[in-house]
Amino acid sequence: MNRIELKEFLDHKADLYESPSFIETDPIQLVHRFRRKEDREIVGFLIATIAWGNRKMIIDSGERLLSIMGESPYDFIMEYSPKKKEQVFTHRTFKNEDLNTFFLGLNNIYNQGGMESAFGGEQPLNMADRILSFRSKLLFPPHLKRTEKHIADPSRNSACKRINMFLRWMVRSNQKGVDFGIWESISPKELYLPLDVHTSRNARDLGLLNRKQDDWKALEELMSVLREFDPDDPVKYDFALFGIGAFEKF
């Protein structure tokens, strides 16, 4: 396919897969149970954090997270104390002590103005700096060194797949009923695709990506192409690149 045909193909697939039916098999379904902005932020971030493994495993672990936090995750976070709440949670290498740090970090973030502002709000930051701003606030409480691996660091060339997925959920329009569009201080233009082994393989097969490593540099390369296709909403192509692999075995 030439570039025009490729854009038409990806536009069609993005439109096909960005629909409420997508939610039925995706961990984002857990976030859709909530209506309060802060609840969606907290649940979305924590579900995105554990989003590695097959989707059923992620959803099952997400259900256990929700059972810990109860009907109001925001109230749980604001009242959280390790001495007051004793949770038992493991998802692969994400353990109790990691979850405790994340709960304390989120408490710190909401006491300083909230999650959206922790990403830099309306300051003219690039996305890597936004992620680093949030990361420093989340990891402000005393924590084990091992916990740091669970929040990606773009300055170390990580592709930051899970945090970019969370940002997509929060920022992109809810017009099609999948993402939420509850943050206005970050534009969809700024977003980066949640790059993983599946989307990167499909991107390479389609000639969108040449770099072999799945890292921030590869993400920059891919985004430069996707922004040519749609400068206002380049991350809509996440649905296309993910969908053709997950549902069509592309």
pLDDT score at 86: 64
Is residue 8 within 8 Å of residue 230, measured between CB atoms? Answer: no
The yes-or-no verdict on residue 168 having pLDDT over 80 is yes
| Total domains, the chain | 1
- 24 vs 173, residue with greater confidence: 173
**Residue 42: domain span:** 3-246
Q: Is 231 helix (H, G, I), strand (E, B) or coil?
A: coil
HEC readout, 138-166: HCCCCCCHHHHHHCCCHHHCCCCHHHHHH
Start-end of H helices in the chain: 3-17, 20-23, 28-31, 37-49, 55-69, 73-78, 96-111, 115-118, 127-138, 161-171, 197-205, 216-229, 237-246
Is residue 45 within 8 Å of residue 115, measured between CB atoms? Answer: yes
* Amino acid residing at 103: F
Task: Give 125's pLDDT tier (boundaries 50, 70, 90).
Answer: confident
Does the global pTM surpass 0.85?
yes
Question: And the tokens for 68?
Answer: 């810990």
The yes-or-no verdict on residue 103 having pLDDT over 70 is yes
Q: Give the pLDDT confidence of 191-210 residue by residue, as tens digits.
A: 999 999 889 999 999 999 99
